[in-house]
Structure 1
């Protein structure tokens, strides 16, 4: 039986991941320009953020459907995702549109999970849970609404409250899934040490 061809590093899924990483500083500059008062720059920032968020979903689907999963993608994809979300949260807090304690809680969780991922990477990869994907979706929606210059549009300022509610839900899911990831990581390490396990699933998109 012929062996499956090796997956090249520079496939479409990994290229999209790298593009998302490159869009992070672009988005940050656009959002922070003129302290967030320039409507056109805010709209541009929202557009870049939405495009970058879409690549997060697209590269994962392409990697799974076309068999383009690589070790680089397993590590770079969640890092790119967290870099985008982290930059957005910090920028929004700098602009006074998000409480700093919310940003700190989320960043501590994301940094901790990233370090935990490297801690167990030699034992296997923990599959993304539905909660992790929901967390990413809630954060992306809340950030997208917060980045948009809604105050400049009559009748749409109320969406700011919707953003607050969604971000609150994202915060809860973020903490809960973080705790679940810690438990799974410990179980994976223990099972691997006893020779009972290896990987627990697919790439950690949305972890």
Structure 2
């Protein structure tokens, strides 16, 4: 006679968390930032001090949404594949539009625009190439680079006798942009070497 009793019923584990909906406030702010880019460009090319101040305000609002949507996505677990793609596109579109617009207007040397955009596009492509080996995390230097770029562009957008401050801040932004770009290349090389070892 068997003394083995019935097998205990399996206890169901916790349900896996559903992925966040693409329709969330963080992605909405990213979309707003993208839509503000053509508005900003239009205001930038309209003559008049008032229009220039308006361009600055739109640029500042769009830049602030970058900080807000990232914080919201991380705090409330709203990170989506759409956000991962759209957020850097929105950032590069806003910064690129501002730099190119200022260079077209003759207010910023083209080589400055070329160096910054080459770094931004190059590092974005590099991240995509090495993603099979791992993720290169955003560094404090990268965050400083973004802050300096935004402040420098904002100073160039504002009317008034701010040239020494404008150029000093832009010089710092370019220097940090180049240094962090080199650092990312080194990190990518080390990441690939470690993965293949």
| TM-score, scaled relative to structure 2 | 0.87
Select 2:24's aligned residue among 11, 16, 40.
11
Select 1:74's aligned residue among 68, 73, 84.
84
Relative distance call for 1:124 and 1:108 in structure 2 (3 A) is same
Any idea what the Cα deviations from partners look like across 1:78-117, whole Å, max 9, x if unmatched? 2211111111011111111111111111111111112112
Q: Which runs of 5+ in 1 are unaligned?
A: 151-156, 195-207
Whole-angstrom distance in 1 between the partners of 2:82 and 2:186: 24
Which has the larger displacement, 68-77 or 127-136? 68-77
Whole-angstrom distance in 2 between the partners of 1:76 and 1:122: 20
Q: Which runs of 5+ in 2 are unaligned?
A: 1-13
Whole-angstrom distance in 2 between the partners of 1:38 and 1:13: 34
Q: Which has the higher contact order (CA 8 A, sep 6+)?
A: 1
| TM-score, scaled relative to structure 1 | 0.83
2:44 corresponds in structure 1 to 31
CA RMSD of aligned residues (A): 1.5
Do the aligned partners of 1:116 and 1:185 also contact (CA within 8 Å) in 2?
A: yes
Whole-angstrom distance in 2 between the partners of 1:121 and 1:10: 26
1:187 corresponds in structure 2 to 190
Whole-angstrom distance in 2 between the partners of 1:61 and 1:32: 32
Any idea what the Cα deviations from partners look like across 1:149-176, whole Å, max 9, x if unmatched? 22xxxxxx1x221011011000000001
CA deviation after TM superposition for structure 1 residue 190, in Å: 3.6
1:91 corresponds in structure 2 to 101
- The count of aligned residue pairs is 184
Which has the larger displacement, 12-21 or 101-110? 12-21
Of structures 1 and 2, the larger Rg is shown by 2
Whole-angstrom distance in 2 between the partners of 1:89 and 1:192: 37
Q: Are 1:164 and 2:167 matched, yes or no?
A: yes
